[in-house]
Amino acid sequence: MRIVVLCSSPYSETACAMAAHLARRGHVPVGALTLPAAEKRTLMRKLGQLGLRASARYAWSKLGPKGSTKDGGINNPYFEEDLRFEGRVLLTLNEVASAYGFPVFTYRDQNSPRAISRLREWSPDLVIFTGGDILREEFLKVPRLGVVNSHLALLPEIRGMSSPEWSLLKDVPLGVTIHYMDTGIDTGPVLLRKEFSSANECASLTELRHRMIAFAVELVEGVVVGLKQGTISPRPQPDRDKDNQFFVMHDRLKSVAARRLRSLQLSAVAGKVDG
């Protein structure tokens, strides 16, 4: 299976963990395409998702001196196993690529003729999307099987941004969907839908997101194996035309989602006591 990893920045921890996780399990990518580290669109998405203070902490963990943060610069503790290599921490996609032996190319537009030309040179079976541009049809048609995305919610119930938080607010079970991308927003055929059963162990929305992202990385590797063995096939999403797309959640609503998460913890504790 020829795999290419697509990401929003060479400092993307999710992209690093995804590439390393696949490589550790024998699916070394044939290459990776990334946007520049200082790409304005990426910075704005990160600010919208994390907020100014958390974004600044994330940047310092990646750009500051190594060892300047707890865990050697790893923000998501559930990535630690994948990001440690021969006694050191892999903090950039270039470091992951050097460790496992695949090339990385940077383009300001992943839909550009140069980026698509590079992708065609690799003749990928599958592209794994971990962040970046909204992909156009010309790009989507290059990989033999398609472009795979991991979405932190069950589709089609919750599409778009802040999906774990919206799942809590809308009383939709938390989960992850692995799907092929198309020209819509989270509307492509579903490869795997799986509920996330450990929310009651998460002390905060940040921990919930960290654990769900790590869970998604594991599911993607399982989908790669399933596609290779022919045991997984795509299914069109039901209610494709229904408007279930959400956007970055306001902090006031996030506080409500945090209370919903806390109630899950309390219910779990009460259940143990009753049992």
pLDDT digits (tens, 9 = 90+) for 126-141: 999 999 989 999 999 9
What per-residue confidence (pLDDT) applies to 68?
42
Task: Indicate the DSSP class of residue 235.
Answer: B
For residue 207, how many other CB atoms are within 10 A of its CB?
17
What per-residue confidence (pLDDT) applies to 120?
98
What per-residue confidence (pLDDT) applies to 269?
73
- Give the percent of the chain with pLDDT over 90: 79
pLDDT digits (tens, 9 = 90+) for 163-194: 999 999 999 999 999 999 999 999 999 999 99
pLDDT digits (tens, 9 = 90+) for 220-272: 999 999 999 999 999 999 875 567 889 989 999 999 999 999 999 888 777 66
133 close to 110: Cβ distance less than 8 angstroms:
yes
pLDDT digits (tens, 9 = 90+) for 74-96: 999 999 999 999 999 999 999 99
CA angle 169, 206, 157 (to 5 degrees): 35
Distance between CA atoms of residues 188 and 143, nearest Å: 15
Which residue has better confidence, 124 or 133?
124
Given a cut of 70, whether residue 52 has pLDDT beyond it is: no
Q: Which fold has domain 3-274?
A: Rossmann fold (3.40.50)
For residue 51, how many other CB atoms are within 10 A of its CB?
13
